[in-house]
Amino acid sequence: MKVLITGFDPFGGEKINPALEAVNALPDNIAGAEVIKIEIPTVFRKSLERIEENIIKYNPDIVISVGQAGGRFDVTPERVAINIDDARIEDNEKNQPLDITIFEDGENAYFSNLPIKAMVKEMKENGIPSAVSNTAGTFVCNHVMYGILYMIDKKYPGVKGGFIHVPYTPAQVIDKPEKPSMSVCDIAKGLELCIKAAVENNEDIKVIGGTIC
């Protein structure tokens, strides 16, 4: 089995991207699966082109992309991606699409086919704060998640795919004392546990994981 996992390049002039650092810190084999780690640009369209190039190259069974959602406390597997780009800020090439459909022939939304609740359970049982997220936003993270699931729907049936958001790291909140953070080491541990759960669970588990509002 092969798992393709991607992390974004540094965004907005930053020297590092902690999500990418955590991806690169993963072992090369998890639960018997080969782990292929890829850097992708924080750029609309180009990010999806890079991912598809590597799907074609490696023929993975599972595709997971990882990005950062500053302000979240948990490592959060995403449930759903929507067919819209509505960028509050520019990407790394100064693109800022507003209310643009990602793929005209795509569904209004795609749900992750990863075992997201099993992933959350695995993390919680091993001391990593985690929760299912029901919004991937409308920036490049949602664009990538939607694009992965669109590609699976249209071209790569049988592949599992989805997206995981991770918190700030401590270095990023020095001037944001009100914001939660997590070490790169713990983020990487959480991602490793997510991959383990994805490899070991063909179907998701049914446990409480919804939100009130």
Per-position b or e across 152-168, b if 16+ CB within 10 A of its CB: bbeebeebbbbbbbbbb
Separation CA 182–CA 100 (nearest Å): 33
Identify whether 141 is a catalytic site residue.
yes
Among candidate residues 143, 165, 192, 194, the one labeled active-site is 165
Torsion angle in degrees (nearest 10) through CA of 45, 46, 49, 55: -110
Identify whether 21 is a catalytic site residue.
no
Separation CA 51–CA 67 (nearest Å): 14
Among candidate residues 78, 122, 143, 194, the one labeled active-site is 78
Identify whether 143 is a catalytic site residue.
no
Closest CA to 139 of 147, 149, 131, 151: 147
Q: Taking a C-beta distance cutoff of 8 angstroms, is the pair 86, 44 a contact?
A: no
Among candidate residues 141, 143, 192, 194, the one labeled active-site is 141
List residues with catalytic annotation. 78, 141, 165
